[in-house]
Structure 1
């Protein structure tokens, strides 16, 4: 196959099947270990100091451990080879993990908001110095873990789910530090639940995109990074292609997209091998679509396509 130039190097057939980097296995292991240890510390001191913010954050951190494990399992599932029962393998597990992580985050923030409202009705004193120290440790741990996932979050929705979990935890911990400082400064017993409530709202707003995008992909929606009209124009611009129909683009995983289409050829004899190779290279280079299935047919054959399936 002819190679193509991309980012200063040749892109070959092997490049088209590079998926989630293996290094994320170690990243998930580090993230899970750090957060399990911190949950234990935070829960103990939250109970000892009667801080709702610390206890709520410990519960949220525990849900994030579950979220990390879920995302980690999805990365592992994506590496399982296809078989006669699962011809695409288990790649879609990453989309399911993204959706589940969004649900976990939304439920955790709903619980945090409810507890904050309850505490507003019965404010309580807290040991602010201890709370601030423990929360400060949480900021460092969660921010460091989020940084490990930052690069991958830009291209992989499953990794983005893990990143949002850790970034949300870091934000909650920052809020706990602020509420402790304000309590020491003004003695406001209501500041702890108010800050928790504000942070819950901020995180819900930030999580909504993950929820919507993963739900969209679960129902085979066109990935938001792909313009379907641009894909259509790309295929129609190929030599000897007169028309196309049954164009479908969907996500096989959070970092892999697939395409199927019927290409209607112009009259005369056409060397389809070169045409298909060019189509695949263009789709990979312009849209990062790695899995392409194209059927070529004449205008007479295209007429036979059932109307309900044509597009």
Structure 2
């Protein structure tokens, strides 16, 4: 289909798609891909050092943070892979290209965060039941280095397009790591000053709660895209009402479906009924312009209902409320 293509019937419901062709695959930002790759290298390299430091110091906070850095590494790799494959052009089997890979990667990121929280909670309970000695000195040094690395990665990713699901997911992972590093530093200081070992699992659980909140937000966003739900901020009934009132010559709007292909790619299909004497080409052009300029819907497929019936689609409309 062509971008914002208007379907003109040969008879009553056949459509002409020969106007012009195009690829639905988005332009993948080289800056996003580069930022994710740099973050991947930094995070993956330090993860090994943190695993060693957590093992030698006996700190659950460090081990938990190392586990989170492992999921960071996986998340960043999936994000990089999504951007890499997303540059592939659309083909005859995948006319929308490969951009939805970034949404799948975002879903995996969210699920990995839930798994991490479960593991930390289990380990924390074990530490409460059988406290283990923690070496505050090595723990402090490794935690400070981890904080520095995470700050650098967070700064790099913040300079990329944070609206992308993958960039957002990676930022949430790194933010969780930042909090984990701060918690590990605080635990090391408290252990060094007081010798109170339970602070290590306690701070690990507090960080886990923050990670859980971020994971839920990411999961709901990616799930909504995969379920082709209406994007945030779009109300189907309000959108129909806006088109009816703003577009001259438009009598009615029906069969309106709005969904996201991936981050920043909102699409719509709809039927329109024309007022008597209205020019079909002009009305359809104005509908597409209104959708793009006022509602950020860049790709709209408009079908003109010539019969004058069947415009309303309550069941379809209700799916997007």
Does TM-score exceed 0.5, indicating one fold? Answer: yes
Residue 95 to residue 225, structure 1, CA distance change in 2 (3 Å): farther
Unaligned ranges ≥5, structure 1? 1-15
In the superposition, relative to structure 1, how do residues 310 and 171 fare at CA in structure 2: closer, same or farther (>3 Å)? Answer: closer
Displacement, 1:126? Answer: 1.5
TM-score for the superposition, normalised by structure 1: 0.88
TM-score by length of 2: 0.85
Report the 3-state secondary structure (helix = DSSP H, G, I; strand = E; otherwise coil) of the residue aligned with 2:309. Answer: helix
Write the mapping of 1:106-117 to structure 2, written as runs, cut at 5 A: 106-117=114-125
Pair 47,201 (structure 1): closer, same or farther in 2 beyond 3 Å:
same
Q: Which residue, 253, 260, 265 being the options, matches 1:251?
A: 260
Question: 286-295 vs 143-152, which deviates more?
Answer: 143-152
Inter-partner Cα distance in structure 2 for 1:130 and 1:105:
26
RMSD: 2.2
Q: Residues 145 and 306 of structure 1: is their aligned pair in 2 closer, same or farther, counting only changes over 3 Å?
A: closer
1:120/1:193 contact within 8 Å kept: yes
Match of 1:37 among 33, 41, 45: 45
SS of residue paired to 2:117: helix
Matching residue of 1:143: 151
Aligned to 2:129: 121
Q: Is the 8 A contact 1:17 1:290 kept in 2?
A: no
Q: Please name the residue that 2:169 is paired with.
A: 161
Q: Deviations over 1:61-91 (max 9, x none)?
A: 1111001111111222322211111111112
Unaligned runs of at least 5 residues, structure 2 = 1-23
Distance 1:307 1:280 in 2: 22
Equivalences, count: 295
CA distance 1:243–1:185, shift in 2 (3 Å): same
Deviations 1:242-293 (A, max 9, x none): 111110000101221101100111122x322232222222212222211111
1:134-283 equivalences under 5 Å are 134-150=142-158, 152=160, 154-236=162-244, 237-268=246-277, 270-283=278-291
